[in-house]
Structure 1
Amino acid sequence: MKQTLYTISLILIFTLFGVQCTFFEREKKQENFWENPVPLDLEEIVKRGFIRAVVDNSSTSYYIYRGRRMGYEFEMLRNLANHLGVRLHLIVKSDINEAFYLLNRGQADIIAMNLEINEERQKYASFTEPLGQMGTVLVQKQRNSKVNKVEDLHNKIIHIRKDAVYKEQLCALQKEHGISLAIIEEKGDSDSFVNKVVKNQIDFTVVDRVVGLVNATYYDDLDVSLEISPKSDVAWAVRHNAPDLKSSINDWLSQKQKTGYTNMMYAKYFQNSKNSYFRSNSPFSSLAGNSISPFDGLIQEGAESLGWDWRLLASLVYKESRFDTTATSYAGAVGLLQLMPVTLERFGVEDPNDPFQSLMGGVNYLRYLDRFWRERIPETNERIKVILASYNIGHGHVEDAWKLAIKYGKNPQNWESIAHFLSLKTDPEYYKDPVVNLGFAKGHLAVNYVDDIMILYDSYRVLIEP
């Protein structure tokens, strides 16, 4: 009976999916989003002050580990952003077609997914010089019925990531070897498909060779020995009408290859299997668990009293102390939320190394700042940024910037307006203004501080469940 049901299921699957590589395949009707891309090149990006890159959430691309952002693409992109003199904003997507759409619509500037260059993709974007070479492999469990050669894939069902190059490669194998495959495309990242194989939810998938090898170090019963496609160049993608950005990336890449930086990053994420395994399987990794730090419970309790998303408060704690209860700054600030001695005393913290006291002392200070700004800045999201700046530099300096915004006819309830004048507090024309009480301040550092926290919060929101 089971065999009959399996046979019927197999016939049904082949009926629905198994003709994908034949002339019966229906062409997708889709908007030609790659035509007339948004005109946005390096000069505009630098003037704007940040670059947006699409990355994947995977054990090799981008993830959170103990509150820290990690991953091969992330570290490479962060270095590139520093080279360009801009900040890095990341967009996490697993759908490659959607990534190309965002790129051409000007909502992203780079697709950093180590894409194989092919004729179809060259319609959508322009590719940088290769970052390296990657092949693809079949992922399966070690078993007696293991597939050892391509011909053994006949009548097999292979689940793959939607819109990846894997379908094209499997179709080529099917034609070359005269076999019949059922290819099922689904949304998701490569690691999620490998996990389905590990859990026996599917029998086969195809991933980049390096991803397969990294995962094979985690799971002893995983086999990635069968090559689906030999190594080929992989690169990042930019808009066709962004030649200056492409040229700058290529110059940076050439420099980093000469210094050995790219090899170092490759070794860190693709060859150091023990560290990769530890990070990827830690309960404090966004790949394996849903925790940011050992203090998540305390942070959630504090965030509830503030009315904040706990991941926002976690971003602040990470920025201040990296979740180190014994952290001490050069200025004498201590504890999880790096409170100065006078603030510790004011908000009743007797032991700054006690995580509960330290955190709740900082939360009480944040509540005080919230009350200070509530009537002046009623909108919560704008007020939170002002509170964060006040936490960093003191609410007196931020109040000076708020007064300057009023004097110069800008919106004093808008963080961007306040940030603009806060950054100008190094200029005598502004810090000596009669409305300013506290004088000179390195306000631009506080603005960057807020940006850092909000960028980290965006990552936590995407990768960590509420």
Structure 2
Amino acid sequence: MRKTLFTITYLLIFTIFGVQCTFFEREIKKENFWENPVSFDLDEIVKRGYIRAVVDNSSTSYYIYRGRRMGYEFEMLRNLASSLGVRLHLIVKSDINEAFYLLNRGKADIIAMNLEVTEERKQYAAFTEPLGQMGTVLVQKNRNSRVTDFKDLDNKIIHIRKDAVYKAQLCALQKEQGISLAIIEEKGDSEYFVNKVVKNEIDFTVVDRVVGLVNATYYEDLDVSLEVSPKSDVAWAVRTNALDLQSTINDWLAQKNKTGYINMLYAKYFQNSKNSYFRSNSPFSSVGGNNISPFDGLIQKGAESLGWDWRLLASLVYKESRFDTTATSYAGAVGLLQLMPVTLERFGVEDPHDPLQSLMGGVNYLRYLDKFWRERIPETNERIKVILASYNIGHGHVEDAWKLAIKYGKNPQNWESIAHFLKLKSDPEYYKDPVVNLGFAKGHLAVNYVDDIMILYDSYRVLIEP
């Protein structure tokens, strides 16, 4: 009876999913978003001040560990952005088709997902020089019934990532071996499917060989010995009309290959399996858990009293102290939120190394700043950025920038206007203006400080549940 039920179930699934070997092609051709891509090349990116890249959330690509952003693609992209003199904004997606859409619509500038370079994909984007080569493997449990020959996959169900190259590979394998496969495509990154195999929710999936090997070091009962496709070139994608960006990335890759930087990063994330396992399975990893730090409970309590998303407050704490209760700055600021002695005394912090006292002292200071700016900047999101700048450089300097915005006819309730004049507070024409009370300030550092926190907060929002 059970066997009959399985057979019926299989036939039903096969009827729905098993003849989908042209599904990706059909779906993409329904929407011509790859034609006439947005014209936005390197000069415009540099002028804008940041570059946007699509990445995966995985233990090899991009993840959060103890509040810190990590990953092979992340570190590569951060280095590239630094060489271009721009900031890095990341977009986390698992849907490859959506990544191509964002790229060609100008919502992203790079797809950094180690895409296999195929003739079909060259319709949708231009590719950089190869970053390396990757094959693909079948992932299954290491048990007596494991598949050791492709013929044994006949009438089996394989779950794979939607819009990846794996489906085309399996369809070719099906034709070559004369077998019937039910291929089920779902949204999710590779490690999502590996975890489903680990939990016995599915029997088989296909992933990049290097991802399979890394996960096999985490889970001893995984088998990744059966190679679905041999190694082929993988690269990043840019818009077909972003030729300057493509050329610049290629030059950067050539230089980084010469210095050994790329090999060093590859070893860090793909060959040092013990460290990768520890980071990925830590409760303070966005891959292995949903915690940012050991102080999440305290941060949530403080954020509640502020009316903030706790992940925003966590971003501030990370920026200030890296969650180190013993951190002390050169200027004498101490504790989780790096309060100066005069601020500690003002807000009743007796032991700055006590995480609760330190955090709540900083929260009380933030509440004071919120009260100071509330009437002047009613909109919460704009006010939060002004509060963060005030926390960094002092609300007096930010108030000077606010006054300059009013004087020059800009919107004083808009952070961008205030940030513009805050950066100008190192220019005598502005810091000697009669409306300015506190004079010279390195305001650009405070603006960068706010940007850093908001970028980190964006990552926490995507990778850590509320």
* TM-score normalized with structure 1 length: 0.99
Structure 2 CA distance, aligned partners of 1:370 and 1:20? 56
Structure 2 CA distance, aligned partners of 1:20 and 1:418? 54
Structure 2 CA distance, aligned partners of 1:437 and 1:249? 46
1:27 is matched with 26
State the shift of 1:191 in Å: 0.3
Unmatched segments (≥5 aa) in structure 2: none
Secondary structure of 1:119's aligned partner? coil
CA offsets 1:65-99 (integer angstroms, 9 cap, x no match): 00000000000000000000000000000000000
State the shift of 1:11 in Å: 1.3
Structure 2 CA distance, aligned partners of 1:66 and 1:147? 38
1:111 is matched with 111
CA offsets 1:298-346 (integer angstroms, 9 cap, x no match): 0000000000000000000000000000000000000000000000000
2:321 is matched with 321
1:53 is matched with 53
2:307 is matched with 307
1:228 is matched with 228
Secondary structure of 2:30's aligned partner? coil
Secondary structure of 2:323's aligned partner? coil
Amino acid at match of 1:114: N
Structure 2 CA distance, aligned partners of 1:346 and 1:9? 69
1:249 is matched with 249
State the shift of 1:20 in Å: 2.0
Structure 2 CA distance, aligned partners of 1:116 and 1:137? 14
Structure 1 CA distance, aligned partners of 2:11 and 2:304? 53
Amino acid at match of 1:425: K
Structure 2 CA distance, aligned partners of 1:151 and 1:440? 75
CA offsets 1:121-148 (integer angstroms, 9 cap, x no match): 1000000000000000000001111111
Cα 1:26–1:209, aligned 2, differ >3 Å: closer, same or farther?
closer
State the shift of 1:25 in Å: 9.8
1:9-158 alignment runs, 5 A limit: 9-21=9-21, 27-28=26-27, 30-158=30-158
Structure 1 CA distance, aligned partners of 2:312 and 2:77? 23
Asked if 1 retains the 8 angstrom alpha-carbon contact of 2:212 and 2:224, the reply is yes
Asked if 2 retains the 8 angstrom alpha-carbon contact of 1:55 and 1:93, the reply is yes
Asked if 1 retains the 8 angstrom alpha-carbon contact of 2:63 and 2:285, the reply is yes
State the shift of 1:26 in Å: 9.1
State the shift of 1:177 in Å: 1.3
State the shift of 1:370 in Å: 0.3
CA offsets 1:181-202 (integer angstroms, 9 cap, x no match): 1100000000000000000000
Amino acid at match of 1:148: T
**Is residue 380 from structure 1 mapped to residue 371 from structure 2 by the alignment?**
no
Structure 2 CA distance, aligned partners of 1:289 and 1:341? 36
**Is residue 164 from structure 1 mapped to residue 149 from structure 2 by the alignment?**
no
1:393 is matched with 393
* TM-score normalized with structure 2 length: 0.99
Amino acid at match of 1:458: D
Asked if 1 retains the 8 angstrom alpha-carbon contact of 2:157 and 2:182, the reply is yes
Secondary structure of 2:255's aligned partner? helix
**Is residue 433 from structure 1 mapped to residue 408 from structure 2 by the alignment?**
no
Asked if 2 retains the 8 angstrom alpha-carbon contact of 1:131 and 1:234, the reply is yes
Asked if 1 retains the 8 angstrom alpha-carbon contact of 2:46 and 2:86, the reply is yes
Asked if 2 retains the 8 angstrom alpha-carbon contact of 1:162 and 1:188, the reply is yes
2:290 is matched with 290
**Is residue 351 from structure 1 mapped to residue 355 from structure 2 by the alignment?**
no
Structure 1 CA distance, aligned partners of 2:21 and 2:111? 27
Cα 1:25–1:289, aligned 2, differ >3 Å: closer, same or farther?
closer
Asked if 1 retains the 8 angstrom alpha-carbon contact of 2:214 and 2:270, the reply is yes
Structure 1 CA distance, aligned partners of 2:30 and 2:447? 42
1:186 is matched with 186
Structure 2 CA distance, aligned partners of 1:162 and 1:21? 12
1:416 is matched with 416
Q: What is the root-mean-square deviation in Å for CA atoms of aligned residues? A: 1.0
CA offsets 1:232-278 (integer angstroms, 9 cap, x no match): 00000000110000111011110000000000000000000000000
Structure 1 CA distance, aligned partners of 2:331 and 2:25? 66
Asked if 2 retains the 8 angstrom alpha-carbon contact of 1:19 and 1:25, the reply is no
Structure 2 CA distance, aligned partners of 1:302 and 1:30? 49
Identity %: 88
Structure 1 CA distance, aligned partners of 2:402 and 2:25? 59
Unmatched segments (≥5 aa) in structure 1: none
Structure 1 CA distance, aligned partners of 2:81 and 2:344? 37
Structure 2 CA distance, aligned partners of 1:189 and 1:115? 13
State the shift of 1:21 in Å: 3.0
2:367 is matched with 367
Structure 2 CA distance, aligned partners of 1:406 and 1:15? 67
Structure 2 CA distance, aligned partners of 1:298 and 1:378? 27
State the shift of 1:365 in Å: 0.2
CA offsets 1:30-69 (integer angstroms, 9 cap, x no match): 2100000000000000000000000001110000000000
Cα 1:440–1:25, aligned 2, differ >3 Å: closer, same or farther?
closer
1:205-216 alignment runs, 5 A limit: 205-216=205-216
Structure 1 CA distance, aligned partners of 2:283 and 2:206? 27
1:198 is matched with 198
State the shift of 1:27 in Å: 3.0
Structure 1 CA distance, aligned partners of 2:18 and 2:166? 15
Amino acid at match of 1:320: E
1:459 is matched with 459
Secondary structure of 1:27's aligned partner? helix
